[in-house]
Chains A and B, each alone.
Chain A
């Protein structure tokens, strides 16, 4: 056996170990209910903003506290607290992906991604008057 083959085998073995171990890093998509089973563990939750319920951001009190309500894919509505400033245009988001964990009855999240209606898909043309 060639030396280079031995080194390659070692490298491949190491790479396999790394790849297997990195699966532990991957998060999973959950719902509020399934995330409550393990409070404190980081999950991803996909949901929709509850526009009728209160959104609260008062930077004078705490610039890192934005709370709102989200309905998850199972239809459960839960309070979410985002530790940051209120993201732009969250009112118009079609879908929200949050990364965080359950604590008591609230979902504490530190990352939000929103899917917004693309400006290209708006089937409306801005029409000027006159």
Chain B
């Protein structure tokens, strides 16, 4: 089962290494990781997606809590969370296929960032499923994909 952990940390050198090291030491693979500052410049937020059975995720969050620079950890409830990621997809196109790719982009509410003679770069934002669906459609002609990690926030006023 995939878990999305939202982790507030002190913005101090070495914090990312401590957290990444802890996951690998305890046998977890990080699927995706996004780090950014919060409203308070002394505090950063890490959004970490990991694959885990229920029991070990509890163990790893407890171990995370033991890191001195970790302030708060939330294991986000997927039913009560909005999550997004962003993908930049470079697709090989020519005059013949350009129109079709633009149509697909429109359906996915993706925007076109760059058009060249033989390629086109699309920016798409959305859930993992949406991005994967788009990538699947474009797959035969994809030159390169660059994806961010997932960021997520709880619904409601909390």
Check if A and B associate: no
